[in-house]
Structure 1
Amino acid sequence: MSQISPKLAISMKAFYGDLQLGILGGGQLGRMLIQEAINFNISTRVLDPDPHAPCKHLCDHFTLGSLTDYETVYNFGKQVDVLTIEIEKVNVDALEKLEEEGVIVYPQSRIIRLIQDKGLQKQFFKENNIPTAPFLIINSAADLKTTNFTYPYIQKLRRDGYDGRGVQKIKSESDHKDAFNAPSLVEEFVDFDKELSVIVSRNEDGEVKTFPCVEMEFNPDVNLVEFIISPSTLSFEILQRADDLAISIATSLKIVGVMAVEMFLTKSGELLINELAPRPHNSGHQTIEGNYTSQYAQHLRAIFNLPLGDTRSISNAVMINLLGEKGFEGLAEYEGLNEVLKTDGVYVHLYGKKYTKPFRKMGHVTILDDDREKAIEKARFVQKTIKVKI
């Protein structure tokens, strides 16, 4: 009688409710992953340093603790069958040790280590002939004097930048005094036409699928994704190139899970890779209602080595981030919900965050419509109507 492989056994455990899935990070991405995991009878454990984390009351077991402390992450990981992340800022040394001891970690620790360091990311692009903006790695603000980039250019911290933080534009020499005085990368300013994202998924068998490319608009004050339009209506040739780039990166990395590939479309029609996120991503929230398979279901399929789902769009979908309003910090209240819920095709997702502060991600709204322009029009209405205040 043939033996069941350990990986197949993991998948079978999921359907019987015995599988222990660990999630490093208890934010909104973990929350939406848990909502999907319930459909697979998966028992979820979450580690997060916030006692009010959005995942706390949805998971089966919540552990309060640091994501960057070796012992905390290691001890948490020893309790689970499969360990995944919803944020990259985790202790990779602990993940490597867990992998050595047989815990399945997806995405793999080597990929998380690469993504944690924007300098290593850029070097990976260069070594694998992946198109990206020209860059230079520096150690301190003083090194800006030796760069040959013309103003303006972009400085990014190599580590710990997140949600628009750790990125700034250097417009002239006078900006050097306010530059990041830490290991950074400097890259040429890209005069882009659009910012795009492709979510790509890969399971351990090597099956790879992409979600339709989306177009992104950013909040200019904090460089956060604020508006997603899916699917993109760019030419077939551009969309095919975007897909091919995402597949090439996922295949080169041999990642298991989903990964967001963010890219610029320049005014000359060139595609340049900006950054990678090896997890469910803000640019894929609209897949919950807008696609046959959501990015969260796809991530679970990938890490359990199940067949990947149908990524086609069901309808035009526009996603809006609900950000805390400027000047408000305290217990959150949501203005305008009644008005927007009267509109057909509107789906509200609140993240369970008790307190709001300026530009904090408090939820998102997805708007579906068979008419793309009507979907965008409804989204603009939602955007100006819902306010997160106190």
Structure 2
Amino acid sequence: MSAHAINDRRHGQTTLAHFFFAFVRGPCKLLSSGAWGERCRLAKFGGECIHSDFHICEDAGRMGNHVASELPKSCDVENLWLCERASVVMAKFSVLLFLREQWTVLVVTGTNVGLGFEAAVHLAKLKPKRLLLTTRDEAKCKQAKQDVEQCSVTNNIEAWPLELGSFDSVRKFADRIESEGFPINAFIANASIATFTYAKTQDGWETTLQVNYLSTALLSILMLPHLIKSTTASDTARLVIVASDAHFRANKLKGVANWPSILGKLNDEEYCTASVMKNRYELSKLLQVMFVREPASRLPNPTPVSVTSINPGFCHSRLTRSVESNLVMKLMVHVGKALLARTTEMGSRALMHPAVEPSERDRHGRYMSCVEVAEESDYALSEEGKEISRRLWEETIEILAKIDPRVNQIISQHLLAR
């Protein structure tokens, strides 16, 4: 298991070293995913110094003094060594790749603040044909569009409302995509919430369970035909679901084999005690990781869509705002962020990487942490975890098909039976 996925197998919890290595190593490899995809560049660790004649590559041992001597003085070369496999080579500019990226259509959900906003700014700088942002309402859409345009100096941006706490909103978003008929090259499902409080949506589901899992799953399935439409022989569409290494800390579902319905039990108010809800965000991220494996294993080979779950790491963001209403939790979160959290911009690069970098089929169906393919938690990889994944998929499709009849049509048309 790689350093950024260290798991304390004795206790089933992520160790402090997990966060440390994720923080230190994470951003390095992502430096190669700057503007224009493979257009090569050199950027200092976590900084803004960019030199377009260089890029970071994965081959070890090529970084020498003759290369370092050519770097601009403003670059902090020493920091590059934090990435143990980083090296610097001369770059070649690809005209075909540059032109291809001018015709891409990219979609990011949850873009008014945090990781989604910073990822949208990065993607806007690629100058895609169309960049579609989503926020919860029209007012936030207008503000997000304006903010991203100002930061990226581009105007090919749209913002549509999407409230994942409402299945009706998800359906309307999918209807609008379908009516306009445009293909999608990359879809980043970023929107999530974290709360300790049990509350139900208007659809009757516990809020975190619906927003982080059910609506994300519904949206992912409804976007599949539009992603497949954009796929070519040389370029596979990408579906990126923003999970988290928090899934390592998800509690085991005790007695799950005897539950008639996993999702039904997780939605039950009597089951959702205070201790259960304190672990609800972590569990929702485990469900996302498990979900990704199922459609990925059912898509044809070679796959027309690369489906990936990613961990951006522990970042400064507003995700924790609802749990900070408790004074003790607020203090713990602030101390944790001060000691361990990377910047929001730095974390956003992890969202951008699988959406634009090559070798997308190598990442298909996998979990990525700090822009490297990594192992999921022991629980997710266990036989019990695999059985839960299978049951979750069947339950999820049954539930979502009642919400939107297109679900069964898409499953039968684009996914293989197992």
TM-score by length of 1: 0.34
TM-score by length of 2: 0.32
Specify which structure has the higher proportion of helix: 2
Higher relative contact order (Cα pairs below 8 Å, separated by 6+ residues):
2
Specify which structure has the higher proportion of strand: 1
